[in-house]
Structure 1
Amino acid sequence: MRIVFLRSNPVQPDPRVEKEANSLIKAGHEVSVVAWDRSEKYNVNMSYLDLKNGRAAIYRFGIPAKYGVGIKGNIGPLILFQFRLIQWLLKNREKYDVIHACDFDTAFVSGYLVKILKKKIIYDIFDYYVDAFNVPKILRNFIESRDHKLINSAEGVIICSEKRKEQINGTSPRRLAIIHNSPSFPCFKMSSLALNREKVKIAYIGILSEGRLLKELAEVIINNPGLELHIGGFGSLHEYFHELSSKHSNIIYYGKLEYSKTLELENSCDIVTAIYDPKIPNHYFAAPNKFYEALMLGKPIIMVKNTGMDEIVSKNAIGEVIEYNAISLEKAIENIIKRKTDWPEISIKMKQLYEKNYIWHEMERRLIKLYKSI
């Protein structure tokens, strides 16, 4: 089949989109991507994603907007993005058979168009919209009602953990696949960088925004010369960390990184963080990329109590589960360092958990099976 992924970020990178696209190419499908570049203004740029199993054409719309400000802060750009999606899907209707819509902000318009154009749709719920974003009360009921209709009408629905079945309670998907955010790279191929072995190195590469205790983490590192923070990604705090790294030698900022480089850097560090604000309902159901990456690489992880996967960290003693504040974060780092002699044993346990429950080979099988069924 000819499959087009729709995503409301630039896919530069987007690990989940890229590994799903790569797996579908491997299964013989033709894949393209339509994405939203919020960094600059232009009509549409076409290039290619070079994936392990082949190339995927990617069409990016340049519509300036901000990350992490909710619908209110981006209402104009969001509406324009919807119109651009409609135009592209109509103009290119002979180029695809299936729309793979990632999240409600691409599924909303494509859900209507598939009926008109007689196409199929797979609804991939990375984040349940009304729980994940700052949705005004006046729109909440409408969005949730429409979301449930999309879930019930799509050929297939994908969620990223068993726990997320609770979020879509009250719906009846025709087909439901659970595909975890597992890395698609085998850990035995991961190389390591030549970093300072005398220091404990903490890694965070992802969305650079408020609500992840990133500034607080940096403050802990700055005040402890025995620690280093290796941080990269994109978002509203990128300038903050770029400037901070120029002032402090133990804050190392990398900017945007390819996913393979992200894993290489994490593999070269000692501790990974996956910190989310538990006040946001969606974070209770979170399935963070960092959790799966830490498992695969065997790196102790820090998570927040009552955010997705925290119970696995606690149950297996493979890191620290904290309260959402700087004091608890600092204490967690100290506790992990105290267990330094246990790190090899923790690493083995984490890798075994990954291979038993989350390995990408199994997630790929589920994805290909879903597409075969439609």
Structure 2
Amino acid sequence: MNILLLNIVQIIITETHLIRNNKMNLKMKHKIVFLQAALRNSHFIKRVLSLRDGGFDIKVYGFERDNENANFFPKDISVEIIGYMTNGKNYLSRLSTLQQGLNKVFIENPDAIFYATTFDIGFFCWKANRPYIYEISDFVYVNFPVILHPIFRFFDRILVKKSKATVLTSEGFHQYLFKRNNIAPNILFLPNKLNKQVENIKRESLQTENEKSLNFSFIGLYRYPNTILRFARIIGEYFPYYTFHFWGNGELKNEIQALTYKYPNIIEHGPFKNPDDLPTIYAKTDLVIACYDTSTINERIAEPNKLYEALFFCKPIIVSKHTYLAEKVELLQCGYAIDPFNDEAIVTFIKQISKEKLKAISQHISRIDSKLLIDDPKQLYHAIQNYFASDTVLHKF
């Protein structure tokens, strides 16, 4: 009997030790496969790097796209291109290309957990019965006919429920999907904050030496002809002593270049690398233009990275009225919400801009703790570790 008890105790001690070691080494032993519809998306590059820095084994598969920016993965990240997608391509054709590429990835990585960065990628992970983490940074299907929205939203809720963890970059996304306050335990809110590479950059409040000049900047993917281009045109036409800067790339590049030919105070700088070029860009910026076209749901409920960039670099931000972003700007007192569809409203707003008011807003922003503005993926680390831990224990016994 004593020998039996001794053996049982030894087994318990051994198993406890093994489980403890497994938990300590889970990050290194289990692979996370990132699946990206656009390989140079700076948001997901940041997400990959944060997980790599957390000690996880990362492999990236993705598609090259038109109008790509200057962002690239560092050489120590394994990246494989599995296809090419043309922007504006028929959605059904895109799904066929996507499924072909993903089937290859699933076969090559039988024991991985997959990180789905879009609805359609999440759908194929679920359909293939693969474990996945799902990140929602927008809703692609809101651009489809309204009659289809309930169907896609139904499946989106399934994808969230079946995921090992779902990352939402805006609380507005949860309100849109679920219409209720109680939050499932597998849902994480991780707004699109800055890459930790910027954490040692000195933050400085706005200094405007020339009282007759202001630099307005749109920074990112060139979109929104009804709002952003409208704002730029009004600066060019009515305020020649101000300057409007475009930093980025996109389908509207030709239209923007046409504005630069017509108005000498509109400047197009082209693609940039995020976060490396952000200090230079924001040093040449007095106001951040983020008044997006609110005719679609995404722009009304998103919490874009421009908010956190503007806050970190202490620059007032201009956004569209009646949006979740406008609520955040009002709460933080970090800028203005305007009607970006109305020429007269834009002109009136620009005329009332006060340099002293801008400086006061900038100084107020500078007092916000920078740690609150930089990406902190600890919640995501814990969710992945918990999945791997439960998976290891279940397989062991």
Q: Same fold (TM over 0.5)?
A: yes
Is structure 2 residue 194 aligned with structure 1 residue 164? no
The residue aligned with 1:57 is: 78
Tell me how far 1:310 sits from its aligned partner.
0.7
Where 2:90 maps in the other structure, the secondary structure is: helix
Choose which of 326, 336, 352 in structure 2 pairs with 1:320: 336
Tell me how far 1:207 sits from its aligned partner.
1.8
Which whole-Å CA distance do the structure 1 matches of 2:209 and 2:248 have between them?
A: 21
1:231/1:271 CA distance change after superposition, 3 Å: same
Aligned-CA RMSD value:
2.9
Is structure 2 residue 118 aligned with structure 1 residue 103? yes
Is structure 2 residue 158 aligned with structure 1 residue 149? yes
Choose which of 110, 117, 124 in structure 1 pairs with 2:135: 124
Which whole-Å CA distance do the structure 2 matches of 1:345 and 1:286 have between them?
A: 27
Greater C-alpha Rg: 2
Which residues in structure 2 correspond to 1:190-269 (within 5 Å)? Answer: 199-210=213-224, 213-223=227-237, 224-259=239-274, 260-269=276-285
The residue aligned with 2:13 is: none
Where 1:231 maps in the other structure, the secondary structure is: strand
Deviations 1:61-92, CA, capped at 9 Å, x for gaps:
4534225xxxxx62244123322332332342
The residue aligned with 1:274 is: 290
- The answer on whether the counterparts of 2:194 and 2:374 sit within 8 Å (CA) in structure 1 is yes
Consecutive unaligned residues in structure 1, runs of 5 or more: 41-46, 68-72
The residue aligned with 1:329 is: 346
1:300/1:334 CA distance change after superposition, 3 Å: farther
Tell me how far 1:342 sits from its aligned partner.
3.5
Which residues in structure 2 correspond to 1:271-310 (within 5 Å)? Answer: 271-310=287-326
Decide which structure has greater strand share.
Answer: 1
Which whole-Å CA distance do the structure 1 matches of 2:199 and 2:102 have between them?
A: 40
- The answer on whether the counterparts of 2:83 and 2:97 sit within 8 Å (CA) in structure 1 is no
Is structure 2 residue 29 aligned with structure 1 residue 6? no
Q: TM-score under structure 2 normalisation?
A: 0.78
- The answer on whether the counterparts of 1:99 and 1:120 sit within 8 Å (CA) in structure 2 is yes
Count of residues in Structure 1 that have an aligned counterpart in Structure 2: 345
Tell me how far 1:346 sits from its aligned partner.
1.7
Tell me how far 1:104 sits from its aligned partner.
0.4
The residue aligned with 2:380 is: 367
- The answer on whether the counterparts of 1:190 and 1:263 sit within 8 Å (CA) in structure 2 is no
- The answer on whether the counterparts of 2:199 and 2:374 sit within 8 Å (CA) in structure 1 is no
Letter in 1 for 2:31: R
- The answer on whether the counterparts of 2:63 and 2:85 sit within 8 Å (CA) in structure 1 is no
1:354/1:328 CA distance change after superposition, 3 Å: farther
Per chain length, whose mean CA-contact separation is higher, i.e. which structure has more relative contact order (CA < 8 Å, sep 6+)? 2
Choose which of 30, 34, 52 in structure 2 pairs with 1:25: 52
Letter in 2 for 1:222: G
- The answer on whether the counterparts of 2:143 and 2:296 sit within 8 Å (CA) in structure 1 is no
Consecutive unaligned residues in structure 2, runs of 5 or more: 1-29, 388-397
Which whole-Å CA distance do the structure 1 matches of 2:365 and 2:193 have between them?
A: 13
Which whole-Å CA distance do the structure 1 matches of 2:281 and 2:199 have between them?
A: 13
Q: Mean alpha-carbon deviation: is it higher for 151-160 or for 347-356?
A: 347-356
Tell me how far 1:151 sits from its aligned partner.
0.6
Q: Mean alpha-carbon deviation: is it higher for 75-84 or for 273-282?
A: 75-84
- The answer on whether the counterparts of 1:200 and 1:228 sit within 8 Å (CA) in structure 2 is yes
1:315/1:200 CA distance change after superposition, 3 Å: same
Q: Mean alpha-carbon deviation: is it higher for 291-300 or for 316-325?
A: 316-325
Deviations 1:73-130, CA, capped at 9 Å, x for gaps:
6224412332233233234225x612111120221112222x2xxx421010111344
Tell me how far 1:190 sits from its aligned partner.
6.1
- The answer on whether the counterparts of 1:8 and 1:105 sit within 8 Å (CA) in structure 2 is no
Tell me how far 1:156 sits from its aligned partner.
0.4
Letter in 1 for 2:296: I
Where 2:77 maps in the other structure, the secondary structure is: strand
Identity of aligned residues (%): 22
Where 2:47 maps in the other structure, the secondary structure is: helix
- The answer on whether the counterparts of 1:5 and 1:99 sit within 8 Å (CA) in structure 2 is yes
Where 2:134 maps in the other structure, the secondary structure is: strand
- The answer on whether the counterparts of 1:272 and 1:299 sit within 8 Å (CA) in structure 2 is yes
Q: TM-score under structure 1 normalisation?
A: 0.82
